[in-house]
Every structure is written in C-alpha cells, then in structure tokens.
Amino acid sequence: MEGKAIIFCAPSGAGKTTIVQHLIREFDRLEFSISATTRKPREYEKDGTHYYFFSTTEFLKKISHEEMLEWEEVYNNAFYGTLKSEVDRIWSKGNCVIFDVDVKGGLRIKRKLGDQAMAVFIKVKDVSVLSERLKGRNTESDFTLNQRIQKATQEMQEEDKFDVVIVNDNLEEALEHAREVVGTFLK
C-alpha cells in the first residue's frame, strides 16, 4: 500500500463528517474512504455510497481473509471497518484517502500506515455539547443515544494520541484549521 491518508476521528456529534465533507469539496485530491458495516442502513443511506453494508457473517469472513485494513465491533453486534480494497482503489487513482472513522479504528489505521497518514481528532468542550447535537439529529433512540454518549466519554480521553487536535466550538474556525493542516500535509 502506498499513498497518503488523512484520518478524522471524533466522538459522535463532534462534527467530523461536516469537516470531512468540506475538505473533500476544497481539495480535488481527497477521496472519501467508504467504511464497511454490519448495521442496518438508515432510510437515506445507499450501499456503496454511504457504507458498504454486509451481514455479520460476510463481515467476519472478510476479517478472516485479511481483507480489512482495520475493524472494530463498535457496538454490540455492530461491526465497522475499512476494506483494504477501498484504500487501494483510491490510491490507484493517485488520490489521498480521507477517513471519517471511530477513534479506535483511526488509531489502528495510523499505526498501520505510520508517516503515510495524519491522524486528526475533532473535539468539543464537553460531552453535553455532543448530547445536544445528537438529540438534534433525531436519528437516535434513547438507548443508542446513551450508548454513543458513553462511548464519547471514553473517546475524548484519547486525543493525545493524535497528530492534530481541532476544537469544534466554532464551525468556521474548525473548518479553517482543518483546511490549513490538510493543505500542509498534502504538499
């Protein structure tokens, strides 16, 4: 595997997807890595566009055949991961892969790719901000909201393991900071 990779990680609701989508519009060389998952698609999601959706059996087979760059059972029986073929597809076009992944997965990618990758952590001032943002989405049940908040509390303790930390208390400032660090890395 060769090429550059930019890994964006954050707890749910911190704004990483918004930032990643902005960067993809800003930089022609960035291409989004579509993650694989075993969770059910949301109403608006399409296979191969938002995620690659697999059954648990299919996903576990890909793990056993070493087809995954990284993977994690993020929630009970909900696997997420990155297909090696997805990264190779993007690099074969001469593009830089940009990831929007959970913290554990992002740190695994960074360990595997080393200096080829820049790992960026998006943070907010505290968990209450994340809770309000997630409630505002209206996509979570009380159970899944509580799961995400519990996971977020753990993830926020990992920020010191990243190359760059961006605070997203002001979206415009966070977008500008992200643009600067990505532009420097791509040179």
Domain ranges of the chain: 5-186
37: closest CA among 7, 82, 69?
82
Instruction: Domain 5-186: give its CATH code.
Output: 3.40.50.300
Confidence grade of residue 11 (pLDDT, cut at 50, 70, 90):
confident
Q: Which two tokens stand for residue 160?
A: 């010191």
Reply yes or no on whether the pLDDT at 29 is more than 80. yes
35: closest CA among 7, 14, 1?
7
- pLDDT score recorded for residue 156: 82
Tens digits of residue pLDDT in 90-142: 999 999 999 998 888 899 999 999 999 999 999 987 766 666 766 666 666 77
Average pLDDT over residues 134-159: 72
119: closest CA among 132, 133, 129, 109?
109
What pTM value is reported for the model? 0.84
Vertex 142, ends 33 and 75: CA angle to 5°?
Answer: 40
- pLDDT score recorded for residue 74: 78
